[in-house]
Amino acid sequence: MAPSSRITLAKGLNAGLRAAMEKDPKVVIMGEDVGKLGGVFRITDGLQKDFGEDRVIDSPLAESGILGTAVGLAMRGYRPVCEIQFDGFVYPAYDQIVSQVAKIHFRSQGKIKMPIVIRIPFGGGIGAVEHHSESPEAQFAHTPGLKVVACSNPVDGYHMIQQAIACDDPVVFLEPKRQYHADKAELDESATPEPLFTSRVVREGSDLTLLAYGPMVKTALASAEAAAGEGKSIEVIDLRTLSPLDMEPVLASVRKTGRAVVTHEAHVNLGMGSEVAARITEECFYHLEAPVLRVGGFDTPYPPSRIEEEWLPDLDRVLDAVDRSLAY
């Protein structure tokens, strides 16, 4: 690839994985269909051809097996990057992730590291059948020992996947699948990325702070643009890291705007927005002009795809919350 080019998120992740594998021979990719097929979303396209079957491993169709064997490979000094084919298929591996991957460093009093990356395409809006559109991030952010990040764009995808692989702690790496082959962005591979576990102001504003990550960043930016047409100045922050949360840019923003709305596709109840709202309230109580509002999926299972656009938070529902906050 040329040093500078316009790429999709799928290409950004692919290039990032390639760069990580070139840099460190201990990096191995494992998952279902990641080899010849290049993954169902083609994120690992061409990697098995170039790095061989020992480093890009087509696994049996067993998610617990993928994560469980990744633990053993990590103990042997490897850095496994596990692809979970769809968000709703991570649960068979849940025990290995929560009881083993997350706890082995702690259990061993720091003697064993678990540098495992668990890549999960997440979120909906692709017209899929059940189990293919979920947002399980809060379940992993609630698990001590894991770190959880979500990329929202091709440039972050390229850099963040490499940073996650270089991280000595296990990282759940969430990829907004609806963005894989959508918007392109200019990638300068030589640019120095920000640290992995940082959030970022992606649009400045003064009236309200709008917080999003993954697929909702695009919606948040569109909402801010629409609100600007009505004379409302909205600051948008891409949280990027969900565990740990990087609250300093958020708190600084809310101290300035006095209002905050958090949005994600995941269910609102006990979702990331609940934690973010609690922390804003604890740290910025006297700066707040309105309660922190949350906009997300309803507390139901993910719906049949014909009604998913109504179920998912969209520009109008975000703006509705913005209006309610500003009306306080």
Partner 1 sequence: MNKSMSDFGPDLGEVFGPSHADGGPELVQLLTPEGERIEHPEFSFDAGEGVDEGELIRGFYRDMVLTRRIDTEATALQRHGELGIWAQLLGQEAAQIGSGRALAKQDFVFPTYREHGVAYCRDIDPLRLLGLFRGVDQGGWDPNDGNFGLYTIVIGAQTLHAVGYAMGMQRDGIVGTGDPDRDGAVVAYFGDGASSQGDVNEAFIFAASYNAPVVFFCQNNQWAISEPIERQSRIPLYQRALGFGFPGVRVDGNDVLACYAVTQAALKRAHEGSGPTLVEAYTYRMGAHTTTDDPTRYRLSSDVEHWKLKDPIARVKVYLTRNGLVDQDFFDSLDDEAEKLGEHLREGCKALPEPNPLSVFDNVYVEQTPELAAQKAGFQAYLESFEMAGGH
**Which positions are catalytic?**
132
Is residue 113 close enough to count as binding partner 1 by CB under 8 A?
yes
Which listed residue (46, 72, 127, 193) binds partner 1 by CB under 8 A?
72
Is residue 20 close enough to count as binding partner 1 by CB under 8 A?
no
Give the CA-trace dihedral at 137, 140, 141, 145, to 10 degrees.
-150
Is residue 211 close enough to count as binding partner 1 by CB under 8 A?
no
Which listed residue (145, 176, 215, 297) binds partner 1 by CB under 8 A?
145
Is residue 86 close enough to count as binding partner 1 by CB under 8 A?
no
Q: Are 77 and 26 in contact (CB under 8 A)?
A: yes
Distance in Å from the first CA to the final CA of the chain = 51
Is residue 79 close enough to count as binding partner 1 by CB under 8 A?
no
> How many residues interact with partner 1 (rule CB under 8 A)?
45
Q: Considering beta carbons, is residue 91 or 298 the nearer one to partner 1?
A: 91
- Rounded Cα–Cα distance for residues 20 and 161 (Å): 8
For residues 146 to 185, the per-residue mask of contacts with partner 1, x marking binding by CB under 8 A and - elsewhere, is -x-------------------xxx----------------
Is residue 7 close enough to count as binding partner 1 by CB under 8 A?
no
Q: Are 199 and 146 in contact (CB under 8 A)?
A: no
Stretch 233-252 residues interacting with partner 1 (CB under 8 A): 243-245
Is residue 295 close enough to count as binding partner 1 by CB under 8 A?
no
With contacts defined by CB under 8 A, name the span among 90-98, 201-209, 251-259, 283-291 that binds partner 1.
90-98
Is residue 195 close enough to count as binding partner 1 by CB under 8 A?
no
Which listed residue (50, 95, 282, 310) binds partner 1 by CB under 8 A?
95
Smallest separation, CB 175 to partner 1 (Å): 22
Angle between helices 248-257 and 272-284 (to 10 degrees): 60
Is residue 36 close enough to count as binding partner 1 by CB under 8 A?
no
Is residue 21 close enough to count as binding partner 1 by CB under 8 A?
no
Is residue 105 close enough to count as binding partner 1 by CB under 8 A?
yes
Please write down the HEC assignment for all residues of the chain: CCCEEEECHHHHHHHHHHHHHHHCCCEEEEECCCCCCCCCCCCCCCHHHHHCCCCEEECCCCHHHHHHHHHHHHHCCCEEEEECCCHHHCHHHHHHHHHHHCCHHHHCCCCCCCCCEEEEEECCCCCCCCCCCCCCHHHHHCCCCCEEEECCCHHHHHHHHHHHHHCCCCEEEEEEHHHCCCCCEEEECCCCCCCCCCCEEEECCCCEEEEECCCHHHHHHHHHHHHHHCCCCEEEEECCEEECECCHHHHHHHHHHCCEEEEEEEECCCCHHHHHHHHHHHHHHHHCCCCCEEEEECCCCCCCHHHHHHHCCCHHHHHHHHHHHHCC
Is residue 31 close enough to count as binding partner 1 by CB under 8 A?
no
State the maximum Cα–Cα separation within the chain, in Å, rounded to a whole number.
59
Q: Considering beta carbons, is residue 69 or 257 the nearer one to partner 1?
A: 69
Is residue 194 close enough to count as binding partner 1 by CB under 8 A?
no
Which listed residue (8, 59, 85, 179) binds partner 1 by CB under 8 A?
59
Q: Say which amino acid occupies 141.
A: A
Q: Considering beta carbons, is residue 20 or 67 the nearer one to partner 1?
A: 67
With contacts defined by CB under 8 A, name the span among 36-44, 54-62, 127-135, 292-300 that binds partner 1.
54-62
Q: Say which amino acid occupies 32.
A: E
Is residue 107 close enough to count as binding partner 1 by CB under 8 A?
yes
Smallest separation, CB 79 to partner 1 (Å): 11
**Footprint on this chain of partner 1 (rule: CB under 8 A):** 28, 54, 59-60, 62, 64-65, 67-78, 80, 92, 95-96, 99-100, 104-113, 144-145, 147, 167-169, 197, 243-245
